[in-house]
Amino acid sequence: MKLETQLREKIRSQGKADSTADAYWYWIERFLRFAKSKRGEWVLPADMGRRQVEIFLTSLAKDDVSANTQNQAFSALCYLYREIVCAPLENVSALRAKRPQTIRDVLDVSEVLRLFAELVGIAKLVAMLMYASSFRIGEVGRLRMKDISFERKQIAIRNSKGEKSRVVGFPECLHDAVHRQMESMKVLWRHDVADGLNGVSLPKAFGRKSPNAHKEFAWWYLLAADNYSKCPNSGRLLRHHIDMGHIGRQIKQAAIAAEIPKRITSHCLRHSFACHSLENGVPIHVLQALMGHTSIETTEGYLHVTVDGVTAAKSPLENLLSNPQTAINNRRDDQEPPRLRVFAG
């Protein structure tokens, strides 16, 4: 069996996402090519070990890759040797890229409005959901009809990052737009049922356990794609959700059109939700649950960019420029008068 096939089947059997398999295989293949460039021929992972991994990781650090990138490569190789080669790596010592302390990009309220003004249709609905309820863009794509409750004003996000699920708010201002989208999907669903088509893709092995669920409207994507495509797991032609990468690019282009002078991606809407929620008085432990953070420390990172956070401390420059003489006098008054001190020698 090919190494890639082994890897993907193992990851799938453990319930991990296909995106994890894609990322791991990228780094494993890159590691194998690196080893080939050194030896002049292909080398099996079983014929290599800790030393070769150290050399590869050190080469990445010297290439100035980010800490997150190098850590992902390390995780992929650890998984390879632990789960596939059955020879876990131990005491790996390599030059590691330093993980920087990052500051999250956050939109001002006025910038959010300008961004929305440049968006239309599905892209606008996605952007509003992300800002309204802390969604990651992929989580919006995976939303199904059964996850949305108008009466309870809640949306369930299932099996997201880290295989975690959570419930977020569903503000009334979005009910009409979501309802219209659901009605348009119902038309598509009825056509599929009438034509005897396969229906939508389902999570992991659920389609085998409940084959009729493919055609149930409850399992239909809120943002189902116009066309069918082949399922990478089963090989069947199924209807998946729309390409969320394309939506992300639309949001980025809208930020450029709105002349927002920041590096804006769709994920900035999630950061902005967190920051603005704190500014509006949402308790940090509540925000932690809404964001799906395992650690409160991750949520606390947003305190640094709130307008009433650390930057709310008044700058001494303001005092100086507003009344220079008063500032000088106050500085003199605060100083302790000189005293004569005699030390015994």
How far apart, in whole angstroms, are the C-alpha atoms of residue 133 and residue 160?
Answer: 14
In whole angstroms, how far apart are CA 60 and each of 40, 57, 65, 69, 100? 20, 5, 6, 9, 16
136 is catalytic: yes
214 is catalytic: no
How far apart, in whole angstroms, are the C-alpha atoms of residue 268 and residue 217?
Answer: 32
Q: Which token pair is 97?
A: 């890229």
- How many other β-carbons are positioned within 10 Å of the β-carbon of residue 245? 12
β-pair partners for 156: 167
3 state SS of 307: coil
How far apart, in whole angstroms, are the C-alpha atoms of residue 55 and residue 59?
Answer: 6
In order, the DSSP letters of 221-287 are BTTEEEEEEE-TTT--EEEEE--HHHHHHHHHHHHHHTT--S---THHHHHHHHHHHHHTT--HHHH
Catalytic residue among 124, 240, 270, 276: 270
Catalytic residue among 8, 241, 271, 293: 293
Catalytic residue among 136, 142, 144, 240: 136
Nearest Cα neighbor of 229 from 215, 243, 244, 211 is 243
How far apart, in whole angstroms, are the C-alpha atoms of residue 326 and residue 330?
Answer: 6
Instruction: Give 205's DSSP letter.
Output: T
Catalytic residue among 36, 146, 152, 161: 161
**Strand boundaries in the chain, DSSP class E:** 148-149, 154-157, 166-169, 224-230, 237-241
Nearest Cα neighbor of 202 from 184, 224, 187 is 224
302 is catalytic: yes
The single residue listed with the structure tokens 């008044």 is: 314
293 is catalytic: yes
Catalytic residue among 79, 81, 221, 302: 302
| Catalytic positions | 136, 161, 267, 270, 293, 302
